[in-house]
Amino acid sequence: MKQDNSYAAVIGRKNSIMKTAVGIDYNQYETTNISFDYERLMKETGYSLAQIKKIQYSHGVGQTPLKELPNLSALARKIAPTGYGARIFIKDEAQNDSGSFKARRASIACYHAKKLGFKGVIAATSGNYGAAVASQAAKYGLKCIVVQECYDSSGIGQPEIIEKARACEAYGAEVIQLSVGPELFYTFLTLLETTGYFNASLYTPFGVSGIESLGSELIEDCLSKTGKLPSAVIITNAGGGNLTGTARGIKKMTDEKIQIIGASVNLKGLHMASDHDFNRKSFTTGHTGFGMPFMTNPDRSDVPRSAARALRYIDRYVTVNQGEVFFITETLVALEGIERGPAGNVALAAAFSLAQERKEDEIIIVQETEYTGAGKHHQAQMAFARSHGIDIYFGDPAEEIAGKSIVLPSRIDQIKAVDLDLIKIKQSAIKNQIKDWKKLTATDFVYLIAETNSTPDFVRQTLTELNVDWEEE
């Protein structure tokens, strides 16, 4: 009997497809109602930190330089209160093979695929991860397919995504480009099923544990260079794996409290799955269109249980506007002689603002950079925005309206990171988790505390407001 490959049928088989393509039986980690054993999942299907480093270092990944930005720090001090203006450092992940921190995720995924005997790997991504998987697949002699959400219904693709497709093909991958919409996940699942390739998902334990080496290196490098720990690490946040893996790596190196700050580009008002909105944004990653939904509902990913659970680790979440990121990208070149891609500079724009809140002897680390060039260059992105009717001008970035304007700051002190309300985000996360339940077990209750990095009182109050009963041990 011929297999039903209709959209509904393929989506209905997604869990069995994923189990085969990842090699993980996620059911064994489910506990009661809403909860699952996250730490057991990470421990049993991941690798030790020492193993991760060995795998990566032997394949062109990791040991990237930690660089101080003395001129940018000095500029922050000029507009900060007296005695304030922390030292700003960047972990220059653009030095990885393939040009971004995502090489760390891809390295472990491809290693594991090879270990299990898969002939190839597939990744669904419009970003740097596709190039990273293609690069690492080449090293391991694996076939590689990258599925991209690239065009709107008029066949117009963003220059950044097109550049990333070029990079994937240069590394030997087959690139399948699709228009925005539900077609991406359907095509991805169909390819996994028909090829029998490994799902090199961003959200498996292999992908997230691969970033733990980055968190580990941040601590080692900072101690080596300065003799002290950073007070904060600022991480560009999208799907949550970057923040999750970095924070876990930091925690494996020190018990001292280091503030974990997530930063995203403010794209409020734009819908990422909208054909109309798709080309009206100048950032394909690192924005609130991914950051918010994945933080409040992490299991919306392409695996049954995502290993990227940023809300468990984040201490503060801020946004910056597109114009501020483009401006700080220019500033990095002008003051430090370092040209890097705008998406990686989201955290740098936030760091410039947040450094002014911290004393001069403190250290803050921008956790990653990415390569730039061609369509990934900020000038190409702004030219594309202008061609779509986006108004670009100098003024107050607070006036920027995503999809309508990009406002470059007319004064450097106008770069201001804006805090998001983590309390509301945590409440929303709990609401999403319990939507199908009216009573929770004691295990569920403990799970929600860990899932939101909160307190029993906070979870009690939230469940009461949602009219949900619960048990406690």
CA 14/CA 358 separation, integer angstroms: 47
CATH topology of domain 55-98+208-419: Rossmann fold (3.40.50)
State the DSSP code for 64.
P
pTM for the whole structure: 0.96
- Which residues neighbour 99 within 8 Å (Cβ) at sequence distance 6 or greater? 128, 131, 167, 370, 371
Number of neighbours of residue 14 by Cβ within 10 angstroms: 18
Residues 109, 209: Cα–Cα separation, whole Å = 10
pLDDT at res. 113: 95
Q: What is the pLDDT along the chain (473 residues), one digit of tens a residue?
A: 678 888 888 878 888 888 889 888 898 999 999 999 999 999 987 799 999 999 999 999 999 999 999 999 999 999 999 999 999 999 999 999 999 999 999 999 999 999 999 999 999 887 789 999 999 999 999 999 999 888 888 888 888 888 888 999 999 999 999 888 777 788 888 999 999 999 998 899 999 999 999 999 999 999 999 999 999 999 999 999 999 999 999 999 999 999 999 999 999 988 877 888 888 888 888 889 899 999 999 998 888 899 999 999 999 999 999 999 999 999 999 999 999 999 889 999 999 999 999 999 999 999 999 999 888 899 999 999 999 999 999 999 999 999 999 999 999 999 999 999 999 999 999 999 998 899 999 999 999 999 999 999 999 999 999 999 999 98
User: What is the C-alpha to C-alpha distance for residues 464 and 129, in angstroms, rounded to an integer?
Assistant: 41
> Which secondary-structure segment (H or E) carries 160?
helix 159-170
DSSP structure class, residue 31: -
Which pair of tokens denotes residue 249? 């790596």
Structure tokens at 111: 């290693």
pLDDT in the model for residue 283? 86
Chain centroid, CA 126 distance in Å: 13
Q: Cα separation of 417 and 234, whole Å? A: 12
Q: Tokens 């057991």 label which residue?
A: 40
**Residue 2: predicted pLDDT:** 77
- Enumerate the domain spans of the chain: 55-98+208-419, 424-470
Amino acid at 359: K
Other CB atoms within 10 Å distance of the CB of residue 183: 13
